Chain A
Amino acid sequence: MKRAVAAAGPLAPAALLTAIAFVLPLAWLLRLSLDRSSGGGMLVDAVTAANYLRFLGDGFYLGVLWRSTWMAALASALTLLLSYPLALFLARTRSRWRGFLAVLTIAPLLVSSVVRTFGWMVILGDQGWVNGLLRLVSLTAAPLRLMNNMLGVLIGLTEVMMPVMTLALIAGFARLDPTLEEAARSLGAPPRKVLLRVTLPLSMPGVLLGSLVTFVLSISSFVTPKLLGGGRVAVLATSIYEEALETLNWPFAAAISVVLVAVFGVALMLYERAMRRWMI
């Protein structure tokens, strides 16, 4: 017991920082979520579960929760699908362009996601490049609705998340011994089987980490659903924004935030469990 306390000594600054940066705001959020808001955004001191009951008892908000979850899961899956070959290539290539390509891959991180989302609006809009091209080859009469809906949000999220996922995957591949793949080949595994039976399972830690990070970032992302969703894609983050800044119902906004934190918790738990399965 004493020894545990002594060992914790050097951790004290980190613990303090965590308390200030994480625990305190969360505690404040929890407290606020138990308050009440009278019509028009007036804040009333109270201790009530009303906000949670409202969220959980209302199909609309459960729908928001469900939509947020599958949107984030689908965005993570799409990101993984696109990033995996890219990361594999970057991790393996001996090309002298490798450094350049790697920088190119993560360069989007240097640009704010707002700007990147604007870029997608230029591409996906009714007057955008895609629809322009389709019009040019007279494939479509009316413009295709590529944004201001869930499709646009998924496209945007996938692009925004790709650098993060690619970095996580590259880190995973770096720990994968290439002779294992050679061993598989020598044992008669064609390239597809090498990928499925050796590369993929062994890169699972990277896959899981990348998926966790993109899931969490996607489900809490606000800019992309807001700007590319055209106001039609109601997810937890946009609901929190609306409640906090438009209807001024802070207690309810706090309750939705707590639900979001709970989703993070579940995601983290699933990650831990999957990691235990795949950690070698």
Chain B
Amino acid sequence: MRRRRILGPKLVLAALIALSPCLAAPSPAAEPSGDIVLMAYPGAFQDNYVKAVVEPFMKAHPGVKVTYNPGGNSAQMLGLLRAQKANPQVDVAIIDFSVSRVGNKEGIFSKLDRKDVPNLADIYDEARMPGDMGPGITFDNLVMLYGPDQVKPAPTGIKDLLDPKNKGKIGFSPAPNVIGIALQIVVAKAIGVGYKAPIDPVIAELKKIAQNVQTWQATPDNYTMIINGALALGIGWNARAQFYADKSGGKVKSIVMQEGGILDMDTINLVAGSRNPAAALAFIDYALGPEPQKRMAEAMYYGPTNKKAVLPPELMARTSSAPATLAKMIPVDWDYVASVQDQWTERWRREVIPAQ
């Protein structure tokens, strides 16, 4: 009897600690269990994401086994999900927001309830998707890449793309790639018209830029081509630029253009018809939490979308989530862009890309 009384409080405490994630949840239905499949990018993203998010999640939820299925790029993943629509084999998908928007409309993904995903409450507004669909888990933003040895002084914005001394030294992906679309929005701002205005003057400006372009298909990518001196200027994404800047010892650098940047993000989505929604939602909530997001920022410079993620200031400054950077982002009506994207792309194909 005495023993029991002494041990009792300790047992209760231990149980409380073990159950704390459940207790903290508003609707602690039950500890999730079973298997789920996460589909996301292959390569470095996979390596880092498994370490920073998947493995810690499984430690916290020993009953759940997460299988990481590298599905290729966003469009390829959407294709796989479309093909499985009647009988989904994937529970959670991480893809680019421009593609997940399509999935949302096609009913491939389910809407999320704040009751199931408490961390949604702490998400930046920029990371929210219309209709409470899968939100952003990582921020990234459009930057200008440059080789500091070749471009002196450092570039500042669109005017450097037009500068004849950079002729034949520029490389970036044209529309329909998001980079081309995003650049068009920045160029519209640079010449003082909105991106929703008639685009003829923007296209005319893009054609001038096109005359300086060496390749629209940098291989393996323009970060690497700037590092090895084959290109001097490019347009790319911040996280990768930071990663390559470290890796190359500063042979490629990046700036947010003075006209502004475009925010990009990867979203985390619950696949409609998931066979284990409880575990899937638990994973999504975990992934949106401050700690895993911080770890991804540390590993790959992806900006956290959770306001509560606390990064060391130097690191924060290098991600898209830095307040100074977020402030420079041009607000974009992506529904509008989606509606005109095909027209823009046709203009690029016919007029911009062939411009000599």
Residues of A within 8 A of B (CB): 39-43, 60, 118, 121, 125-127, 142-143, 148, 226-227, 229-232, 234, 242, 244-250
Contacts and interface: CB of A to CB of B under 8 A. Distances in A.
Given A60-B349, A126-B230, A247-B341, A40 B214 contact: no
B176 A39 contact: no
Given A126-B230, A231-B174, A245-B73, A39 B217 contact: no
B219 interface: yes
A142 B167 CA distance: 11
A148 B78 CA distance: 30
Contact of B176 (A125, A148, A247, A250): A247
- For the complex of A and B, list the 9 residue pairs with the smallest distance between their C-beta atoms, beginning with the closest: A231-B216, A230-B215, A40-B338, A231-B217, A245-B75, A246-B176, A247-B176, A148-B215, A41-B102
Contacts of B342: 39, 247, 249
A183 B27 CA distance: 95
Interface string B246-289: 00000000000000000000000000000000000000000000
Contacts of A249: 342
A247 B230 CA distance: 29
Contact of B101 (A40, A148, A244): A40
Nearest to B339: A39
Given A125-B230, A245-B73, 16 more contacts: A39-B338, A39-B340, A40-B101, A40-B102, A40-B341, A42-B106, A43-B106, A60-B349, A127-B230, A142-B168, A148-B214, A227-B219, A231-B353, A246-B176, A248-B75, A250-B79
Given A60-B350, A125-B230, A231-B353, A246 B75 contact: yes
Interface in B311-356: 338-342, 345-346, 349-350, 353-354
Interface string B139-171: 000000000000000000000000000001000
B345 to A, nearest CB: 6
18 contacts: A39-B338, A40-B101, A41-B99, A42-B102, A43-B106, A126-B168, A127-B230, A148-B216, A230-B216, A230-B217, A231-B173, A231-B174, A231-B217, A231-B353, A245-B76, A247-B176, A248-B102, A250-B79
Interface of B: 73, 75-76, 78-79, 82, 99, 101-102, 105-106, 168, 173-174, 176-177, 214-217, 219, 229-230, 338-342, 345-346, 349-350, 353-354
Contacts of B345: 247
A39 B73 CA distance: 20
A230 B229 contact: no
Q: Main SS of chain B's interface residues?
A: helix
Nearest to B219: A227
A126 B105 contact: no
Contacts of A118: 219
A41 B95 CA distance: 15
A125 to B, nearest CB: 6
Contacts of A39: 338-342
Nearest to A44: B106
A32 B174 CA distance: 27
A54 to B, nearest CB: 10
A226 B217 contact: yes
Contacts of B216: 148, 230-232
Given A226-B217, A232-B216, A40 B346 contact: no
A153 to B, nearest CB: 11
Contacts of A248: 75, 78, 99, 102
A182 B229 CA distance: 58
Most buried by A among B217, B346, B349: B217
A77 B14 CA distance: 79
Contacts of A234: 349, 353
Contacts of A126: 168, 214, 230
A29 to B, nearest CB: 14
Nearest to A59: B350
Given A39-B339, A231-B217, A127 B229 contact: yes
Contacts of A242: 176
Nearest to A233: B217
Contacts of B106: 42-43
B167 to A, nearest CB: 9
B351 to A, nearest CB: 10
Contacts of B82: 43
Nearest to A61: B349
A227 B215 CA distance: 9
